[in-house]
């Protein structure tokens, strides 16, 4: 399969590796959108978040606190965002991975949560909640 992250996992393409175990690797994202921007990549090829099973998801999240604490200790960011882009066009590499993005004063990384609370009603909340719940 022509997958860039499989190639990195198999050491066919070099990477700046922070951590490796049997299940996953943590490497610097080539873009370094902020200093210390890191990717956690499962060694096994899952296309995206929708395809993870319970075991794989718990195995990958188990390592997150260790890596984010190392980043915090290294660069003392003001905070950190954890991002999982899921499906094109959001996701550009279709091999499941987690972005760890340390945040700094005046960095150029932008994430904005629009607040639509004013447009909501109790009925609307219930309707949305029921739709999702019925699809569990």
Question: Is 95 a residue that touches Zn ion (CB under 5 A)?
Answer: yes
Phi-psi bin for 87: left (phi > 0), alpha (psi -120 to 50), beta? Answer: left
Q: How far is the CB of 16 from ligand 5GP (least distance, A)?
A: 7
d(CA 24, CA 13): 16
d(CA 74, CA 93): 27
d(CA 76, CA 82): 16
d(CA 70, CA 50): 28
Question: Is 27 a residue that touches ligand 5GP (CB under 6 A)?
Answer: yes
Q: Which partner from the list Zn ion, ligand 5GP, none does 96 bind, CB cut-off 5 to 8 Å by kind?
A: none
| Binding map of Zn ion across residues 34-53, x = CB under 5 A, - = no contact | -----------x--------
Of the pair 21, 130, the CB lying nearest Zn ion is at 21
Binding site for ligand 5GP (CB under 6 A): 4, 13, 15, 27-31, 85, 91-93
């Amino acid at each position: 399969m022509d997958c860039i992250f499989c190639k990195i996992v198999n050491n066919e393409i070099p990477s700046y590796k922070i951590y490796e175990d049997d299940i996953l690797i943590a490497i610097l994202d080539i873009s370094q959108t902020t200093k210390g921007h890191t990717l956690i990549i499962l060694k096994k090829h899952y296309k995206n978040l929708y395809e993870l099973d319970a075991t794989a998801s718990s195995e990958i999240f188990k390592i997150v606190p260790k890596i984010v604490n190392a980043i915090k200790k290294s660069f003392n960011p003001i905070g950190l965002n954890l991002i999982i882009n899921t499906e094109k066009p959001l996701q550009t590499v279709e091999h499941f991975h987690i972005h760890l993005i340390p945040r700094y004063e005046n960095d150029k990384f932008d994430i904005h949560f629009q607040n639509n609370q004013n447009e909501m009603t109790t009925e609307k909340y219930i309707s949305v909640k029921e739709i999702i719940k019925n699809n569990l």
